Amino acid sequence: MRLPNGYGSVCKLSGKRRNPFRVRKTLGYELTENGRTKQIYQTIGYYPTRKAALEALAAYNANPYDVNAEKITFADVYERWSEQHFETIVPSAVRTWKSAYRYCESLYKMRMRDIRVLHLEQTIKNAKVGDSTKARMKSLFNQLYRFAMKHEIVEKDYAQLCDSIKAPKPKLKRIPFTHAEIELLWENINFPFVDMVLVGIYSGWRPQELAVLKTKDIDLENKTMFGGLKTDAGRNRCVPIHPKILPLIEARYDPTKKFLFNDENSQQGTSMTYEKYRGRFNKVAKKLALEDHRPHDTRHTFISKAKEAGVNEYVLKLIVGHAIEDITEKVYTHRTMEQLKAEMELIEF
């Protein structure tokens, strides 16, 4: 029976062999020295009978896998994972992953299939870094093993068995802006980037999200903004524009620029990194004697004010990008844009 073109082939090898039937796929062609075309094959495996070989070939075509998975190293998995993952996160987050990876050198050349819990734990234990970086290393192991399991590179997730590696408890203290402090910001609206701080307070965007908020995702006519990062619940969400900051966004809105808050040091106009955002925020805080505040306090202020105003719990989660656990609410309730806007307008600052 002739197999379809591109399907692969089964051939029987000469001699007495335990598994004489070879399954292979054509990878491409190359020219030999005499000018002839030569096929380049990749072997899928060897089998005792033609029937078993054909079944293996059919299974491979139905669900292709990397036949060289057994050779893939920790470094190979990191390269493949990062190529996809880094496209979805902000530059500051990329730097934290790269920093964690630098302390995993002892694993670079090890085959993923040979790595065990002891190797992972010793790598973290021996890293001469603080608890936050060690926690990031553990998170990196979780990500790489999840990727490796998905692509059938490994059969067991050893990262999940690292019970002795604990992430440090967060020590951050969020301080919401008071009514007097918000009024102070409005009184100094002409100082550079005060408007940025106010937009954060009245919208609930994370600092990283606000720094990369695209102009094309702002609808002044319908008074909405679309954006978000970090989690599935946080991405691509709609945030109604609070009436008090509509004039600020209209003043900033420039369709010729890609981002609402551009890096003013760039001629073409690019988004700010989190570090630059924090630098602008700190200048405002120093100018107005608000040094006790940190960039995330704007988001915390919005959430606190929304709760004080009695904003619907699920609507608030939709606006700020928190996961909704109630399956009925998550799947069956459709929150209209009018409802989101109505709840937003309940919030008083």
What span, in angstroms and rounded, lies between the C-alpha atoms of 54 and 21?
Answer: 9
Count, in order, helices (H) and strands (E) of the chain.
14, 6
For residue 57, give the H/E element and its range: helix 50-62
Q: Is the pLDDT of residue 190 over 90?
A: yes
The stretch 87-102 carries a mean pLDDT of: 89
pLDDT digits (tens, 9 = 90+) for 300-346: 999 999 999 999 998 899 899 887 766 555 544 556 788 888 999 99
Cα 9 to chain centroid, rounded: 40
Closest CA relative to residue 58, chosen from 69, 45, 40:
45
Closest CA relative to residue 64, chosen from 35, 42, 31, 96:
42
- Residue 7: pLDDT band (50, 70, 90) is confident
* Residue ranges of domains in the chain, CATH in brackets: 9-64 (no CATH), 70-161 (1.10.150.130), 179-344 (1.10.443.10)
Tokens of 52: 């078993």
Q: Is the pTM of this model over 0.85?
A: no
Beta bridge partners of 12: 21
Residue 82 corresponds to which amino acid? S
pLDDT digits (tens, 9 = 90+) for 266-290: 555 566 788 889 999 999 999 999 9
Contact 239, 204 (CB under 8 A): yes
More confident residue, 205 or 5: 205
Tokens 């089998």 correspond to what residue? 47
pLDDT digits (tens, 9 = 90+) for 231-253: 555 567 889 999 999 999 999 99
What span, in angstroms and rounded, lies between the C-alpha atoms of 307 and 121?
Answer: 42
What span, in angstroms and rounded, lies between the C-alpha atoms of 347 and 244?
Answer: 10
Look at residue 63 in the predicted model and tell me its pLDDT: 63
- Residue 64: pLDDT band (50, 70, 90) is low
The stretch 60-89 carries a mean pLDDT of: 80
Look at residue 153 in the predicted model and tell me its pLDDT: 85
What span, in angstroms and rounded, lies between the C-alpha atoms of 20 and 46?
Answer: 7
